[in-house]
Chain A
Amino acid sequence: MNLILEKHALPDLLQSWRGNYDVYLPQKMERFSHFMPLTDNSVLVTHEPHNTRISPKALFLPMTEALVKFTRFGGYEDAQQVIQPRIIFAIRPCDAQAVQLLDTSFIQEAYTDPLWLERREKTITVGLGCHEPCQTGFCTTVGYGPFNKADLDVLLTDMGDAYLVETLSKAGEDCFQGLPCASDEFVEQALIVQRNAHDQMPVAFETENLKEKLEQNFNSDYWETVSQSCLGCGVCTFLCPTCFCFDIVDETQRRERVRNWDTCMFRTYSLEASGHNPRPSKVERTRQRLSHKFVYWLDQVNQIGCTGCGRCVRYCPVGLDIRAMLRQAQTLPFEVSHAG
């Protein structure tokens, strides 16, 4: 269903959801925006032509969450987290797509992460398409787009004074009840905006045969070249919407077993108890990060594990650019395999 939402009516609408839902929306925090709960004087920030700094995956997989509490005499109890139904407002399509990609690893036949599942089920996502191209993003390159509808309940298109509201699910429809229907003309205009936005995104690198090239050049000097200025911090992976590694730690002082974000870019990530480290240097770690996204994801679920949000490019402290790295990878030699 296509509806029109006048921008001046938005604050009231947001507030009206507060009764039934926790509403998260991008708000200003220092010099950037961040998904924070709606309060009486929240100000929505959507003018930035790029994402919030921390991806909304943090709302599904918190940086730190308690799983189990230990009791005094050797027992333990559930951490009993209360997860309220919630609406994530103005999530960008790349981030929503990323959450859907993460489902493939958290919701599996063999094991489903109960906390992830509960948060997923209780969340309604209201997406906001990107009508202005962002400088570091490359969503169209990896097969998605600035108005990608995957995993959204609603998609908004900014049309100046109003939003075009495309409801994509029953839950989404319920949230926007009572809004006037959009005229065909208005929808037509919105489609032009969407197409323009899509066309303005340049192709950052070729994805054809990329997997084979990275795979076949596993031992190439290429990895040494692209990783030498890497510092080995976790900025790229922590801000990444599709990185989902975590580490389970017993916090004895808190008497809790917690789950923290972890990243393959840290030395301790692959360090084994024996002292052996199968990924001893940043060369192997960089290879792991890139290969996971552009080789292993394809092996496992046949999708690229990158949605092109551009955070790693924007915030890398040494200016490493995954787009340039992959462009360089495209120059690597490879053989077409006929095996499979």
Chain B
Amino acid sequence: MSQKPKIAFFQCQWCLYSPADQNWVDTQLPSNIHLTKTPCTGRINPLYVLNAVQGGADGVMISGCMPEQCHFKTGNMAARRQLEEFNDFLNHIGYEKERVRFVWLDLQDRGIIQKQLAQFEQDLEVLGPAKNLITRTKIAEGGLNA
């Protein structure tokens, strides 16, 4: 792959417990990674993921807090149920399951996110660019393939 894979990165703003990590994400993220910070993983509507996928992301990474450590008590638990199912569902219609990855971070985790992103990027390079579901394309004349 000549170009680096495009990654949409959704992050719960509470999940990086070390200020250094958060600082790195906020300021030093490589340009092929698009960061969207949310108040909680529970705020990540599956439609956000879909939008990233349709817009041409080669992979989507979601990072959030471990169970029982959610800033809003159960936001991450709700998100886990939904987003995991959504990933399964996208897979059902042909989007590779490996292109969506979850990282659940613990209180003592330091410097994990950088490694995870690097690993994800490597794995995506092996998979190659995403082909299915990238649909923000030209409108056909007459609608309905006419």
Task: Using CB atoms, name the residue of chain A closest to B138.
Answer: A66
Task: Using CB atoms, name the residue of chain B closest to A22.
Answer: B141
With a cutoff of 8 Å between Cβ atoms, the chain B residues found around residue A66 in the complex are 139
Chain B nearest CB from A330 CB (Å) reads: 36
SS of B interface (majority): loop
Decide yes or no whether A321 CB sits under 8 A from chain B: no
When the two chains form their complex, are residues B146 and A35 in contact, meaning their CB atoms are under 8 A apart?
A: yes
Task: Using CB atoms, name the residue of chain B closest to A261.
Answer: B143
When the two chains form their complex, are residues A37 and B139 in contact, meaning their CB atoms are under 8 A apart?
A: no
Interface 1/0s, chain B 17-59, versus A by CB < 8 A?
Answer: 0000000000000000000000000000000000100010000
Task: Using CB atoms, name the residue of chain A closest to B140.
Answer: A62
With a cutoff of 8 Å between Cβ atoms, the chain A residues found around residue B136 in the complex are 253-254
A36 to B55: give the CA distance in the assembly, Å: 28
Decide yes or no whether A63 CB sits under 8 A from chain B: yes
Task: Using CB atoms, name the residue of chain B closest to A24.
Answer: B146
When the two chains form their complex, are residues B142 and A58 in contact, meaning their CB atoms are under 8 A apart?
A: yes
When the two chains form their complex, are residues A65 and B139 in contact, meaning their CB atoms are under 8 A apart?
A: yes
Decide yes or no whether B145 CB sits under 8 A from chain A: yes
Chain B nearest CB from A229 CB (Å) reads: 28
Decide yes or no whether B144 CB sits under 8 A from chain A: yes
Instruction: Select which of A58, A81, A253, A254 is within 8 A of B143 by beta carbon.
Output: A58
Decide yes or no whether A219 CB sits under 8 A from chain B: no
Beyond the given A58-B142, A59-B142, could you list 20 further A-B residue pairs with CB under 8 A, ordered by the A residue number?
A: A24-B142, A24-B146, A34-B144, A35-B142, A54-B143, A54-B144, A58-B143, A58-B144, A58-B146, A59-B146, A62-B142, A62-B146, A63-B142, A63-B143, A63-B144, A64-B143, A65-B141, A66-B139, A83-B141, A253-B55
B interface, CB within 8 angstroms of A? 51, 55, 136, 139, 141-146
